[in-house]
């Protein structure tokens, strides 16, 4: 069984995942693109050792900030981890708010091949031409020009493969989404940012700023990019904090839109006064479907 737990930031995904992992003897695979990186702890609201309560987590803290890690890399790593856990008869819980990671992992999601990073340079012209003819036997490409052969093959494969339909690759998958009243969620996000500041977000951002503020992995991290502007003297600390809250709220809104358009998710309204009731509701849904 695979249980996917997703939804916007600050909605209780970690707490639910730990409870379900205990209930169903499962291990957890991270699906948050920032938690992949070491030391990006506060900005990503990374699960702490205490919060894990002994549950094994995978694909957290596997890369340094200056190492490239793409959705394609995640797809390979996470699918290998699923295979490994299934061979051990383990249930699997996938937790995170990075929708594209989840989509690429569980669905027949294929990627455009980048001419700069493909393996076609290792093929002969004859092998390239043969692959082209297998897709389009009427191709008029110059079979003596290797660069054109590579470009033609990439274009053909993009057209034929990159359909990215809704074919689910695994059986017995439950898509669980956590949600709450939008205004209440925004209040929780604002309060979470205040807690992150108290817990050392500014110091964490300063650490990476001093290492390499232009590193690719840092440019889109909410919490860092705003504070980097503060460190550059472009805005005040208060303005940076307000921007973090604003951008976090906007990100939550985009997450809702993405998941509603891209996946069939069973949404649960979170009872923050009695979170155990939310857990029971999710368990009942899983047990009866």
pLDDT score at 157: 67
Residue closest to 246 by CA, chosen among 202, 176, 286, 190: 190
How does pLDDT run across 8-25, given as a tens digit for each residue? 988 999 999 999 999 999
Which tokens sit at 138? Answer: 């009427």
pLDDT band at 112 (very low <50, low <70, confident <90, very high): low
Residue closest to 30 by CA, chosen among 98, 83, 110, 80: 98
Sorted by where each begins, the domain ranges of the chain are 2-109+166-287, 120-161
Q: Tell me: pLDDT of 105 over 90.
A: yes
How does pLDDT run across 260-276, given as a tens digit for each residue? 888 889 999 999 999 99
pLDDT score at 114: 52
Kindly report the CATH number that applies to the domain delimited by 2-109+166-287. Answer: 3.40.50.300
Residue closest to 128 by CA, chosen among 117, 141, 116: 141
DSSP three-state, residue 28: strand
Residue closest to 142 by CA, chosen among 158, 127, 125: 125
| β-pair type (91-95, 26-30) | parallel
Q: Tell me: pLDDT of 49 over 60.
A: yes
Record the pTM.
0.81
Angle, to 10 degrees, between the axis of helix 237-262 and the axis of helix 182-198?
130
How does pLDDT run across 165-179, given as a tens digit for each residue? 578 999 999 999 999
State phi, psi for 227 to the nearest 5 degrees: -70, -30
């Amino acid at each position: 069984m695979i249980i996917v737990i997703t939804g916007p930031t600050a909605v209780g995904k970690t707490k639910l995942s730990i409870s379900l992992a205990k209930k169903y003897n499962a291990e957890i695979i991270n699906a948050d693109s920032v938690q992949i990186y070491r030391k990006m702890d506060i900005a990503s609201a990374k699960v702490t050792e205490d919060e894990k309560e002994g549950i094994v987590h995978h694909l957290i803290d596997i890369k340094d900030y200056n190492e490239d890690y793409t959705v394609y890399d995640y797809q390979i790593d996470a699918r290998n981890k699923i295979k490994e856990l299934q061979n051990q008869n383990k249930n699997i819980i996938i937790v995170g708010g990075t929708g594209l990671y989840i989509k690429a992992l569980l669905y027949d999601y294929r990627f455009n091949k980048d001419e700069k990073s493909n393996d076609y340079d290792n093929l002969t012209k004859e092998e390239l031409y043969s692959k082209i003819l297998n897709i389009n036997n009427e191709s008029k490409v110059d079979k003596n020009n290797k660069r054109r052969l590579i470009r033609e093959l990439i274009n053909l494969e993009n057209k034929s493969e990159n359909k990215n339909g809704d074919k689910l690759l695994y059986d017995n998958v439950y898509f669980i989404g956590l949600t709450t009243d939008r205004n209440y969620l925004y209040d929780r996000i604002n309060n979470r940012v205040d807690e992150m500041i108290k817990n050392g977000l500014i110091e964490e951002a300063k650490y990476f700023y001093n290492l390499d503020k232009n590193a690719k992995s840092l440019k889109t991290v909410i919490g860092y990019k705003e504070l980097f502007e503060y460190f550059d003297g472009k805005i005040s600390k208060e303005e940076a904090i307000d921007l973090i809250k604003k951008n976090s709220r906007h990100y939550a809104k985009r997450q809702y839109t993405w998941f509603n358009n891209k996946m069939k998710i069973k949404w649960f309204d979170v009872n923050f006064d009695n979170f155990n009731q939310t857990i029971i509701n999710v368990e009942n849904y899983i047990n009866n479907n």
